A and B are shown apart, each in its own frame.
Chain A
């Protein structure tokens, strides 16, 4: 007979694990991935493949040879980083630029801090912002959706947000502009220019619902993030409709939904308590609109999330959960 085990309680454990959580996020990202394949064809497949493989290989290399630790690539977190990085770039991006992005995302943003769980900033976003600053030309020439695999050399054009930014800077009327932009219905299903994974609102929401049901994310961050953007944009729009575009447009364009549902909610880089999550979501929403409307970049979601990531330790310190029985202490 084998020896009996001795330990402190509890003696049972949930069936949930880091691995399960991470792979569920991967599954939740699949609808958006399929839509991107549908609209951007073989290019999207290439970008996604290069990004995922380089992230996973890099994580393995860093863990094995630099950190001399057991490799944990099977936990799926590098796959998520790879997918999200691919989702945040144009579909015609050269493979070597993607690999640079992966080196920054995995190497600098994740492994330099000590690997999964220790990083302060969302790795995919750090990779994306690094590329945006280093390769502004390549990162902002967006192929327009073409449907199917036939049209490899798609026409490039600006994203709806970039169109607005340029037009506004030129002093045009926002109400007129709306007619030239994709309709809300088109935005919902992805018929517009943009990064790979951000184009189809419905696919992203479907993935978000899966995460909500599986309790991997809570409603706090997405709802407060999107809600703040909606309220802030509504106020601006009500003040001067000619100068500020509608709030619906703000929500459905750019990376807002992808950011609010998949990236701001990243467990590692978001606050712990529900109150903290609400503060975090509101901060992200405010910064997004500030950057979109008054900043020099047309899109502000990545910057907003990264800035709020930096505040997470402070938010965690300030937003403690309600202690049982502490209210009545004298």
Chain B
């Protein structure tokens, strides 16, 4: 079984929601849609207060090169357009909709029928993906159509589907692969066609035997789908590590996967691509795992974008007495939720309710120079060395020690027996050094 070679850790998997089927979460009474839910230039609002919108109607248009469209996941009236605090508490421009009963735009195919045949050309597919507002749903939310537009002079050899799902707790990609296998695989084939490569490589970690079996079974009916079973190790799902594991190619420092001929998309993205291209359906939902040690019954949900986070928690009996921390994303790289009234966005892969025992930060003690952080770093960095450089503001030294290469996977801080806040320092250093490099240019 393959995996990436350098570094990595094995956090407790805790995939409690592995066997929980994806449930459709009920519609909220009011929903807030942040205008910009992707990485890139802000989208331009296309509706005004008081407008009646149908499900699937365009709310905001991505006009810049790296930007994305946003569609209304609900039918209802635009109540207001004003800044609403996001999960981190920062106010962001949002379109607030008073939700009514669904009236889908007629162009959207809402039937359950699976459309297998890919009739569109490469260019038409990319256009469609752009029009339907698809972004990378692994967490970064980079507009997918931009990823598919290969710059002049570059050649793509591999279309890779990231099905590693290496973060603990999160199980929703696993469920998509089990429950929507065929649609997911058609989506993968569409991406392959868009890139103009003959095969698509799917990398799944071996802790998902049910998904592996199902994908292999259904993939047998397709041609040109390679399923790679990868030895479970965090951070397998990190783009560069996944490319290394599947192709043995190494993305150079400061370069993109496309520079080594690879384009990576995740499972939920492939499913959204299927729905956009074959069913004309814009990206309007987020597939997420609701789990954590202070959750009684872990679940997987299909939630419409704009649903307040608090509603998911309330629907499950509210916060437990021992809840210490709420996380959006996985426990290794996710962000803590500050504002419970924030709304679900694109790429919201999980909502974790952690108890104190699980998530408490321990008092740091002296570094004992054990070198475990050096062993764990998948990028070949020296976290024990970078952290003090940042502490003493030695930015030039931090830069020459490759601080910018850090992918913020958290392996160093996870493994540190002295519980030192290594990544906190490195993250600070990265932003300082990044700033420095930009002003020097």
Contacts and interface: CB of A to CB of B under 8 A. Distances in A.
Contacts of B354: 11-12
B294 to A, nearest CB: 11
A12 B354 CA distance: 9
A176 interface: no
Contact of B250 (A10, A11, A327): A327
Given A12-B12, A18-B417, A325 B250 contact: yes
B358 interface: yes
Contacts of A322: 6, 380
A75 B419 CA distance: 14
User: Which of A9, A20, A21, A269 is most buried by chain B, counting CB atoms within 10 A of its CB?
Assistant: A9
A325 B253 contact: yes
A234 to B, nearest CB: 31
Contacts of A325: 240, 250-253, 255, 379, 405
Contact of B369 (A9, A16, A17, A267): A267
Contact of A8 (B168, B329, B362, B424): B424
Contact of A12 (B6, B331, B335, B382): B331
Nearest to A317: B385
Nearest to A117: B366
Interface in A223-258: none
Given A18-B368, A116-B368, A10 B253 contact: no
Nearest to A5: B325
A1 B421 CA distance: 27
Contacts of B9: 14
Contacts of A18: 365, 368, 417-418
Given A12-B11, A14-B415, A272-B374, A323 B336 contact: no
Contacts of B358: 12
Contacts of B247: none
A272 B384 contact: yes
Contacts of B380: 321-324, 326
Nearest to B422: A10
Contacts of B104: none
A7 interface: yes
A24 B11 CA distance: 21
A115 B423 CA distance: 24
Nearest to A118: B366
B332 interface: yes
B417 A20 contact: yes
Contacts of B384: 272
Contact of A9 (B6, B382, B418, B423): B423
A115 B369 CA distance: 13
A274 B381 CA distance: 13
Contacts of A147: none
A273 B371 contact: yes
Nearest to A316: B385
Contacts of B359: 5, 11-12
Nearest to A276: B371
For the residues of A in contact with B, the DSSP-based class is loop
Interface string A15-52: 01110110000000000000000000000000000000
B305 interface: no
Interface in B402-418: 402, 405, 408, 410-411, 413-418
A4 interface: yes
Interface residues of A, number: 44
A8 B418 contact: no
B374 A9 contact: no
A7 B368 contact: no
Contacts of A188: none
A13 B338 contact: no
Contact of A117 (B168, B338, B367, B421): B367
Contact of A11 (B336, B381, B416): B336
A92 to B, nearest CB: 34
Contacts of A324: 6, 240, 244, 250, 253, 378-380, 405
Interface in B80-121: none
A274 to B, nearest CB: 8
A273 B384 CA distance: 12
Nearest to A19: B417
A268 B419 contact: no
A117 B418 contact: yes
A321 B417 contact: no
A329 interface: yes
Nearest to A18: B417
Interface in B115-134: none
A269 B371 CA distance: 11
B361 interface: yes
A7 B332 contact: no
B319 interface: yes
A13 B362 contact: yes
B327 A267 contact: no
Contacts of B244: 324
B417 A268 contact: no
B323 interface: yes
Contacts of A1: 319, 321
Given A14-B415, A326-B380, A9 B332 contact: yes
A111 to B, nearest CB: 12
Contact of B334 (A9, A270, A273): A9
B245 interface: no
A18 B5 CA distance: 26
Interface string B415-440: 11111010110010000000000000
A314 B378 CA distance: 24
A115 B368 CA distance: 10
A272 B414 contact: no
A8 B423 contact: yes
A274 B376 CA distance: 12
B331 A11 contact: yes
Given A6-B336, A11-B327, A323 B368 contact: no
B324 interface: yes
A186 to B, nearest CB: 36
B370 interface: yes
A8 B369 contact: no
Contacts of B368: 18, 21, 116-117, 267-268
Given A13-B413, A325-B240, 9 more contacts: A5-B325, A9-B332, A9-B333, A14-B416, A18-B368, A18-B417, A117-B368, A267-B369, A325-B255
28 contacts: A4-B336, A6-B338, A7-B336, A7-B361, A8-B336, A9-B423, A10-B423, A11-B325, A11-B327, A12-B11, A12-B168, A12-B331, A12-B332, A14-B417, A16-B417, A18-B418, A114-B366, A115-B366, A116-B368, A270-B369, A273-B374, A320-B382, A321-B6, A323-B380, A324-B378, A324-B380, A325-B250, A325-B379
Task: List 3 tightest A-B contacts by C-beta distance, closest first.
Answer: A10-B410, A117-B366, A272-B371
